[in-house]
Structure 1
């Protein structure tokens, strides 16, 4: 687990520790010490703790003019035991919503499992968006299947057309445009 790093290719566009409006503003990273763990496995210090014992994140990009946040997640998304969605919603999403963010892209290549509970926080997030959306890219198939069991698919856009293996080759706003185009086609077909 300690070799899994959050994507660093967009640091020239955005650094959450230097953004006064970011929930991670001013955070100092000590890359010589590995202290954070998931199930006793150390993880890279670049991942950010937001209250969950099993799920960590990195705010890869935030653009207040475009109302966009791109978040990479790593670990086990466990609503059943740790209420991870509550921590994410209360400690990160609510903060970003107050800053005017309405479009969320979640990147989940490193989310290994999902354990659901109820959908109350997902529903709240959905209702808070005011013409925005939440989109999930590159999560594992079994995570999507679990989301469907708990009705999360009503609140988060995901699926085959949102498996973008080459997302790292794009700049953040290019990725946003690709996702917007995919979602507009989906909506037009409904």
Structure 2
């Protein structure tokens, strides 16, 4: 797991450690010291702790004017044992909602498993965003199926055109525009 790095190519557009509105503002990354672990396996020092011992994140991009954020994940999303959605909602989502962020792009290529519980934090998150949306790209099929078993797909958009987006080939604003267009069609705004 220590070889799985967050996506670095967008650092020229945004660096979470240099964002005064970020909970990670001023964080200094020591790429020589691997100290964080998931189930005893060290992870790359660029991943950020958000309150869970099994799920780490990297905020890849935030646009406060357009109100969107792109977040990459690594680890096991475990709501049953660690209440990961609670940590994510309270420590990250609530923070960025206060700055007007209401469109969330979640990248889950490195989510290795999902264990659900109830959907109350997802519902709260969804209700907090009047005109916004939550979408997930790059999640493994079995993770999406498990999320659907807990009806998380009532709150997070998965599948369809979202499955074929090659997000690494796009600039963050282009990725947002493409996803916003897809979601707008899904919810009938266009």
User: 1:115, 1:90 → 2: CA distance?
Assistant: 19
Match of 2:147 in 1: 147
**Residues 1:161 and 2:161 aligned together:** yes
Match of 2:58 in 1: 58
Q: Deviations over 1:80-116 (max 9, x none)?
A: 0000000000000000000110100000000011000
Match of 1:22 in 2: 22
- 1:168 is paired with a residue whose SS is helix
Match of 1:114 in 2: 114
Report how far residue 186 of structure 1 moved.
Answer: 2.1
User: 1:116, 1:42 → 2: CA distance?
Assistant: 24
**Structure 1 stretches (4+) deviating beyond 6 angstroms?**
none
How many residues of Structure 1 are paired with residues of Structure 2 in the alignment?
189
- 1:127 is paired with a residue whose SS is helix
Match of 2:82 in 1: 82
- 1:135 is paired with a residue whose SS is strand
What value does the CA root-mean-square deviation take over the aligned residues?
Answer: 1.1
Q: Deviations over 1:42-76 (max 9, x none)?
A: 00000000010100000000010000100000110
Q: With the length of structure 1 as denominator, give the TM-score of the two structures.
A: 0.97
Gaps of 5+ in 1: none
Match of 2:184 in 1: 184
User: 2:186, 2:64 → 1: CA distance?
Assistant: 25
Q: Deviations over 1:6-62 (max 9, x none)?
A: 001100110010000011101110000000000100000000000101000000000
Match of 1:49 in 2: 49
Gaps of 5+ in 2: none
